[in-house]
Amino acid sequence: MQDLIKIAVDAMGGDGSPKKIIDGIIHNNKTNKENFFRIFGDKSKIINYLKNNIDENFYEIIDTKKVVKSTDSPLEAAKRGKDSSMWLAIESVKKKESDIVISAGNTGALLVIAKLNLKMIDTIDKPALSALWPNKKGMSVVLDLGANIECSSKNLVDFSIMGASLYKSLYPDENPNVALLNIGSEELKGNEIIKETFQILNEKKNQNFNFAGYIEGNQLMNGEVNVIISDGFTGNVALKTAEGTANFITEELKKALSGSILGKISSLMNMSNLKKFKKRLDPRLYNGAIFLGLDTPVVKSHGGTDFFGFSNSLEVCNKIVKGNLIDKIKGNIS
């Protein structure tokens, strides 16, 4: 256990918990023996799913009956008490009993409880919600995705440094190319905050990443840029648009290939390519958003994902800790 990465897991958050969460842990453990799971939740429910499915050397259960509900406001969640599975999981990283914390529960509650328990990294004013998106050449880190509706130029510069640090932690052999999401690629486009941020990043020439200027929405997936920065309002709209478009294409393709005899024959002939296409757009492969700016990493799994998606978010936890994300951010900020 001493050499294992200790992941604090809120087992009671998200749809289908705790079974989905435990199934994700079991699936992750089959392929990765580097993780030790500190599982917070109702032991009487959790233990039945764990029995005979995972070696006891890879987990411990911290029993608690209190749960933050998906319908709770952040304030209600905080008031629910310090005995909820989400609060105790976050508290375990505060006490250095765990290296990282993950929950599939209420996003607003997770952010508020994390901010109540954990310190911000020095000089960073606001935490940002980041996530992974697929592009033509691999993956991109995108932030902020909704934690901050309004941002100053300093916030966006901080996001650039944090996003580049996250990318380098996850993909140590690649170089971060950072761009600001904007309505055009010309220097004069955008509001005053975007233009001011552009000037700061363009003049500063940060050694930890390459600043590539502006990027438009139709270029997000081309792979030329792998760290994309915006305020939380714009980033969240872009995320939901991308998700909706991917779902639309997948559903329409299914209809086209199953609606006629010719379509069915075509789908059989191209089964291998169709499987590759489906896998490329599978959101479960990119599950696991990260709150950046806190002095301890906090990961948010999508509440509606299945055990496979949750297992992938546990893999993100593993890479973040191994990649020394917090130390990278602190070093790059300074």
Q: What is the mean pLDDT of residues 300-329?
A: 91
Where residue 325 sits, what CATH number does that domain have?
3.40.718.10
Name, in order, each residue with C-beta under 8 angstroms of 213's C-beta and a sequence gap of 6 or more. Answer: 179, 180, 185, 187, 198, 202
2 and 109 housed in the same domain = yes
pLDDT tens-digit series, residues 149-166: 899 999 999 999 999 999
18 and 98 housed in the same domain = yes
79 and 161 housed in the same domain = no
CA-based max dimension of the chain: 63
Instruction: Find the radius of gyration of the CA atoms of the chain.
Output: 21
Query: Which residues constitute the domain of residue 70?
Result: 1-123+293-334
Q: What are the start-end ranges of the H helices in 129-269?
A: 153-170, 192-204, 232-258, 261-269
The domain tally of the chain equals 2
CA 294 to centroid of chain Cα atoms: 14
Say how many C-beta atoms besides its own lie within 10 A of residue 223's C-beta: 15
Choose one of 250, 267, 286: the last residue of a domain. 286
DSSP-derived letter for residue 135 is: E
pLDDT tens-digit series, residues 136-151: 888 899 998 888 889 9
Choose one of 264, 286, 308: the last residue of a domain. 286
By the 8 A CB rule, do 76 and 97 touch?
Answer: no
| Predicted structure pTM score | 0.86
116 and 129 housed in the same domain = no
Nearest-angstrom CA–CA distance, 26 and 312: 12
Name, in order, each residue with C-beta under 8 angstroms of 195's C-beta and a sequence gap of 6 or more. Answer: 187, 188
Please check the confidence at residue 35 and state whether its pLDDT lies above 60. Answer: yes
230 and 259 housed in the same domain = yes
Q: Judge if the upstream peptide bond of residue 127 is cis by omega within 30 degrees of 0.
A: no
**What is residue 79's predicted lDDT score, i.e. its pLDDT?**
78
271 and 305 housed in the same domain = no
282 and 172 housed in the same domain = yes
235 and 318 housed in the same domain = no
Confidence tier at 268 by pLDDT (50, 70, 90): low
φ and ψ at 62, to 5 degrees?
A: -105, 110
19 and 38 housed in the same domain = yes
